[in-house]
Amino acid sequence: MVIDRVTFYKLRKVYRMSCEEFGALMNVTGRFVRFIESGDRKLPQYRADILLRELDLTPEKLARLLATYDETTIDTVK
Confidence tier at 1 by pLDDT (50, 70, 90): confident
pLDDT value at residue 73 = 77
The number of distinct structural domains making up the chain is 1
- Whether pLDDT at 78 is above 70: no
User: Does 18 reside within a domain?
Assistant: yes
- pTM for the full predicted model: 0.89
Mean pLDDT of the chain: 94
User: Does 78 reside within a domain?
Assistant: no
Residue 78: half-sphere exposure toward Cβ, Cα within 13 Å: 3
| Cα 57 → chain centroid | 11
- Rounded to an integer, the average pLDDT of 26-42 is 98
- Whether pLDDT at 63 is above 80: yes
- Whether pLDDT at 43 is above 80: yes
CATH assignment of the domain containing 9: 1.10.260
